[in-house]
Amino acid sequence: MTFRRAPPGRRFAEREQVTTTAFITHRDCQLHDMGSHHPECPQRLTAINDHLIAQGIDAYFDYYDAPLATFEQLLRVHPAAHLERIKRASPEMGVVHLDPDTAMNPHTWQAALRSAGAGCLAVDLVMKKQVENAFCSVRPPGHHCEKATPMGFCFFNNIGVAAMHAIKAHGLERVAIIDFDVHHGNGTEDCFAGDERVLMCSIFQHPFYPYSGADKPAANMCNVPLAAGSGGEEFRDAVMQVWTPRLREFKPQMILISAGFDAHYEDDMGGLKLVEKDYAWVTDHLKKLAAEMCDKRIVAMLEGGYVMTSLARSVGAHLRSLADL
């Protein structure tokens, strides 16, 4: 039995029994820093936290520290050589670039382990019914990291590690991954293309970085490329006409969300035109599908979103929906 913390002014005795939303993060995730002008910056998490406090909704979540992912968990997705490469690249001081966009400082290794570990903890909490759903406010993100290639600000495929944890540690046979980031989750597709245990449903701007996802995807990849300038109407059509039938056919036992918010019209990292109400709508819709098919099990993990104001508002809308606020 779990209880949501009472809002200000409500007496303890007046609290209602509710299922709760877990909010998983760790201060290590704010220590990873790829440089003062890099868009994937520590201030992203600060902006989210500040917005939740300013809106008075921070008290409605159960907070957990993200654990360090174990090598056993990571090796379900990545080969040992990938883990060794990342660990060896970790600098004692300064910044080391793995590619022009993806860099490590002395705290990156730890932060990346926390980010991947957050998804595993979220899956555990949801499967044990300690919470109804969970949001992982972590960085670095993960959906661009391929099995053996870090890229696009990503070092481990966090959502993939969570999916395999659900399969291997909890015995699930069917897991859905939803990705509404403006960029195609090429890493997640690389990890699971052809794996019948996983259905990936995604929208992304195309043509656009990383210039993948549109040409002959595997049967378990439900990709919907959207042209620059597409907005809520096109997004909702993709969800209702393409994603939803595939999800109902697949009947997932858990829904994982690569929750990127850089498709927002204010975010200049992309050219789509979603707004907060679109993120609230898709979260509401996924919650209905989860209630219908998989005992309400949802785990969401932060991916993109690089304008602090729109990121914070969009995460707030997503969390309000997850927590029924």
Active site members:
144
Q: Can you list the positions of beta strands (E) in 217-266?
A: 221-226, 254-259
Task: Measure the CA–CA gap between 204 and 243, rounded to whole angstroms.
Answer: 13
- End-to-end alpha-carbon separation of the chain, Å? 19
Which residue reads 């949802």 in tokens? 298
Which of 57, 80, 65, 74 shows the shortest CA–CA distance to 23? 65
Strand partners, 258: 179, 301
Helix (H) / strand (E) element for 54: namely helix 43-54
3-class state of residue 57 by DSSP: coil
Which residue reads 């979220």 in tokens? 122
Q: Quick check: 133 and 257 in contact, CB under 8 A?
A: no
Q: Quick check: 142 and 302 in contact, CB under 8 A?
A: no
**Residue 262 to residues 72, 161, 207, Cα–Cα distance (Å):** 32, 22, 16
The answer, yes or no, to whether the previous bond of 245 is cis (omega within 30 of 0) is: no
Task: Measure the CA–CA gap between 55 and 315, rounded to whole angstroms.
Answer: 12
- Give φ, ψ of 304 to 5 degrees: -90, -175
Task: Measure the CA–CA gap between 155 and 164, rounded to whole angstroms.
Answer: 17
Q: Quick check: 254 and 177 in contact, CB under 8 A?
A: no
For 285-298, letters b (16+ CB in 10 Å) and e give bbbebbeebbebbb
